[in-house]
Structure 1
Amino acid sequence: MLKISHIVTSIESEASGLSYSVPSLAKAQAGLGSDVALLSVGTPGKAHDSGVVFETMPRDLSSIPVLQRLYISSELKKRVAEPGADIIHNHGLWMMPNIYGSLARRKNRDVKLVTAPRGMLSATSLNFSPIRKKVFGHMFQNRALDAVDMFHATAESEADEIRALGYRQPIAVVPNGIHDDVPARSPGRTGRDKVVISIGRVHAKKGLDRLIKSWAEVTKRFPEWRLVIAGPSEKGHSEELTGLVEQLSLTTVEVRGPVFGAEKQRLYADSSLFVLATLNENFGMTVAESLMAGTPVICTKGAPWSGLETQKCGWWIDHGIDRLTAQLCAAMETSEDEIDAMGQRGRAWMKSEFGWETIGRKLIDAYGWLREGGDPPSCVRIT
């Protein structure tokens, strides 16, 4: 039985993709017979759920403005260093919890360290707060990455980003999963809402300003349609987008806060289209969520969703306001029957290839190869 410790800075924000994907992965692996713990920083506590031990350690120096952002936790550092784990699987970069696994790896050669950058090594991501990342990299992150035994990339494009930075360790290319119990829109439902949605973190890298500028042209042809942007604001970006909406005198655009649970699922299922206009994304969990809800997707090539085209459940488009405008207009002219058919194909695709049990098993196979050797599983890239 493999003993696996997953490390993530925090899972307390429902709007964070890691708060969904890492616990889901841990539960899937526990269901497959592994001994799994998920270690993070937050309100101290220990709980058991679906075979997983969730341990949350307190944050140190939380009253010091600069240091509190690093999520320093001496208790988490100590817990990660305890012997016993076969695999330490770290998720994310640029925070102190993401360093603790490498420190444990250097002390204990029996444990193997797997790191999932979660899109944080892309050129676009590295260009956000570059000075802070350069300093943190010099002090901590670069050595932590050198200590990695295997990377976990959620797409081939992310694996290419890792290689472009010179890292030669094996890479397990395994996407995030999606739960298959999400309710979907009823096929052929009359009165389908003429709503385009974009859900997720409201961050500059999401390309939402481009989406709004595109909408200024779209609404001239389709004044009855609405655009809803929902998600938590980062660095005041929601306010910037609201200002842009007002500047362009758009009355059919709503920039709102985050949505969760049943409200979020209703928004997916009741909308006609989902748009991810991102500049760069290692996966794009909201694309999978939308497809599972039976709603077709328009996604830029900033995210690795070429399958939208091959599976005939959406559109994978080049960057640019003009390209986005043209695709939005074409999608709005698509018949309701075809939109429903696309939605059904997308949901079937998610169920067949992105179930959490399948994802968990692939990574367990990769862990086993990392520890025992032999022929690598098909998901592992050696070169």
Structure 2
Amino acid sequence: METSKKKILVFIDWFLPGYKAGGPVRSMANMVDHLSDRFDFYIVTRNTEYLEIEPYRGIQSNVWVDFQPGVKVYYASAVKEGLRLWKQLIQAGNFDTIYINGIYSFKYSVLSLWAAKQFNNLKVIVSPRGMLAPSAIGVKSRKKNLFLALVRWVRLYRGIDWHATNEKEASEIKMLCGNATKVSIAANLPRKTNLNQTPVQKQKGHLMVCSFARISLEKNTLFALQTLSLVQTTGEIHFHLYGQIYNDEYWQECLSVIEQLPVNIHVEYKGVVDADRVGEQMANYHVMYLPSRGENFGHVILESLMGGRPVLISDQTPWLGLSDKKAGWDLPLSEMPLFASKLDELNLMDQQQYDQWSMGAQQLADQFVNDPTRMQQYLQLFQ
């Protein structure tokens, strides 16, 4: 006899069709894509895109909207968001599990957890999504440290389960809540796509580099630009930046560095590209460059590898040991000249040499995507 699917209520600040909030949106979209045939997901989110005030066009607010089979979304307006609505939705839905994405959002992390804890029969899972990493806490650190001290004091997370995406994040959770805390590890799931490697021509002395990340201190855009001034080869390098500019002062620093670069190095800001078109755009480049200060996962890194494009990244992500697999390089941020030397190495590659790295990137991605243990981890998390 067929049993009914378990119902999972999700609270997340931003969801599709939004994409400007980056990784958390992609992580949630991938999760429900892979699991909606086994569970029914009800996602509560804002009715606006990140940093915007106008509601999404063509989407009705404050009602459950059919998003895809097994997924409904409640796009809440600003005047409706809050404890009262959250409790009403929980009470009316007969849910099995509450899943809270993030920890710092007052409405979607704190108030949703407070509402969920009013119902004793519910399993509650919180996923910090990298927000407890030192690199994340370091941004607006005073405010975040005060918040973390407060939640320890009031024991806000007592009795709930945690979802970590890797061992490092599990350790960060236990540092906050204690070693006895229940933490389940389930790595991020890849985008469901048939994206295959698109060949790209590689001539010695010509290099196309891209970055798909917000222009920000966390993503280390300025660092990436500064490394270009250390490049030794005289071949042409084109570096194209895609992503939202959130801080005009930081962007002005970036522009100052760009103006000083050698004549053979060309940097262009290309604006924001829809998340669904990132893979398509990457096909025009030889390498994705992201010396980020920290990534909980790095969906854009996986997307680059899936397209057969090696990556040049910092060692502050889960993607390590890349050079051994000929998939790219993960380097310490304390060694800026190393990043420049890898750009030199890439610039001097011919087609045959580059194809070896392209193949290594795709093989690593295939190994990750086809790993069956990831789905098992999520089934254990929600069962």
Q: TM-score normalized by structure 1?
A: 0.82
Alignment match, 1:34: 39
Alignment match, 1:366: 381
What SS does the corresponding residue of 1:194 show, helix, strand or coil? strand
1:142 & 1:276 partners in 2: Cα distance?
37
> 2:107 matched to 1:107?
no
> 2:322 matched to 1:311?
no
Identical-pair percentage: 20
2:310 & 2:183 partners in 1: Cα distance?
30
1:60 & 1:203 partners in 2: Cα distance?
30
Q: 1:5 aligns with which of 9, 12, 34?
A: 9
Q: Output aligned runs, 1:77-226, within 5 Å.
A: 78-80=88-90, 82=92, 84-95=94-105, 96-137=107-148, 143=154, 146-147=157-158, 149-168=160-179, 169-187=181-199, 189=201, 194-218=207-231, 220-226=232-238
CA drift of 1:138 comes to 5.6
Report the residue type matching 1:349 in the other structure: L
Alignment match, 1:377: none
Q: 2:305 aligns with which of 272, 291, 312?
A: 291
2:286 & 2:332 partners in 1: Cα distance?
21
1:101 & 1:262 partners in 2: Cα distance?
29
- Whether the 8 Å CA contact 1:199–1:230 is kept in 2: the answer is yes
Alignment match, 2:239: 227
1:40 & 1:356 partners in 2: Cα distance?
30
- Cα distance per residue 1:272-295 (max 9 Å; x no partner): 111120111111111011111110
Structure 1 unaligned regions, length at least 5: 62-70, 369-383
CA drift of 1:357 comes to 8.1
Structure 2 unaligned regions, length at least 5: 48-54, 56-60
Single out whichever of 52-61 and 342-351 deviates more from structure 2. 342-351
1:260 & 1:338 partners in 2: Cα distance?
32
- With over 3 angstroms needed to count, the CA separation of the structure-2 counterparts of 1:365 and 1:41, relative to structure 1, is same
- Whether the 8 Å CA contact 1:177–1:356 is kept in 2: the answer is no
Report the residue type matching 1:207 in the other structure: N
- Cα distance per residue 1:76-119 (max 9 Å; x no partner): 45324545222211111211201234223321222111111111
Report the residue type matching 1:200 in the other structure: A
What SS does the corresponding residue of 2:313 show, helix, strand or coil? strand
- With over 3 angstroms needed to count, the CA separation of the structure-2 counterparts of 1:222 and 1:124, relative to structure 1, is same
Q: Output aligned runs, 1:223-372, within 5 Å.
A: 223-236=235-248, 237-248=250-261, 252-260=266-274, 263-320=277-334, 321-354=336-369, 359-368=374-383
Report the residue type matching 1:48 in the other structure: F
- With over 3 angstroms needed to count, the CA separation of the structure-2 counterparts of 1:180 and 1:35, relative to structure 1, is closer
- With over 3 angstroms needed to count, the CA separation of the structure-2 counterparts of 1:90 and 1:125, relative to structure 1, is same
Choose between structure 1 and 2 for higher RCO, CA contacts under 8 A separated by at least 6 residues. 1
- With over 3 angstroms needed to count, the CA separation of the structure-2 counterparts of 1:37 and 1:315, relative to structure 1, is same
What SS does the corresponding residue of 1:304 show, helix, strand or coil? coil
CA RMSD of aligned residues (A): 2.9
Aligned residue pairs total 357
